[in-house]
Amino acid sequence: MIYTLEEAVKRIEDYKSQNKKIVFTNGCFDIIHAGHVKYLNIAKTYGDILIVGLNSDNSIKRIKGDKRPIVPQEQRAYVLSQLKPIDIVVIFEEDTPYNLIKAIKPDVLIKGADWNIENIVGADIVLSNGGSVNTIKFDYDTSTSKIIQKIIELYCEK
């Protein structure tokens, strides 16, 4: 369930030949929490096959700073691959999943409701191919950053 880009493209072609609807989302998924799991379960309802693009360790460092990620990419990919709604996990090195979206051409692109559709990376590709772009509201007020901050507050000496 963890694929290279080339392997994923071949597998997705097989799914598309079976008329399966391909859904794509992406993220860092550094410390998996209930909000992530609920989001991924909802994302799966938009189609048949859920593909998750996972930011590599280097990508996260560039985006979030040298202290992140907390969990290495191989472990994050493994945890994601074991979640029921996820069919394919692909690690990507770039700061955005644009090239990944361009290669797999999903039918549906999903992001959190904190994104405006016009700012979602790859939306132009999906829409130009006749697909849809959707956002999902987060029900849990949590994030990896909030979890890290709470650990610091509770367990680090002041």
Domain boundaries, the chain: 2-155
So what's the pLDDT on residue 143?
Answer: 86
Closest CA to 28 of 50, 58, 60, 52: 60
Structure token digits, residue 57: 């360790």
Q: Is 148 exposed, middle or buried (0-12, 13-18, 19+ CB in 10 A)?
A: middle
Residue 48: which pLDDT band, with cuts at 50, 70 and 90? very high
- The mean pLDDT value of the chain amounts to 95
Residue 158: which pLDDT band, with cuts at 50, 70 and 90? low
| pTM of the model as a whole | 0.94
Parallel, antiparallel, or unpaired for β 108-112 and 22-27?
parallel
Distance between CA atoms of residues 48 and 154, nearest Å: 42
So what's the pLDDT on residue 142?
Answer: 80
Q: Does domain 2-155 have CATH number 1.10.20.140?
A: no
So what's the pLDDT on residue 114?
Answer: 86
Q: E strand or H helix at 133, and its extent? A: strand 132-136
Q: What are phi and psi of 114, to 5 degrees?
A: -75, -5
Query: Which residues contact residue 18 at a Cβ distance below 8 angstroms, ignoring those fewer than 6 apart?
Result: none
Of 53-62, 113-122, 128-137, the range with the lowest mean pLDDT is 113-122
Question: How many CA atoms lie less than 13 Å away from 46 in the CB half-sphere?
Answer: 24
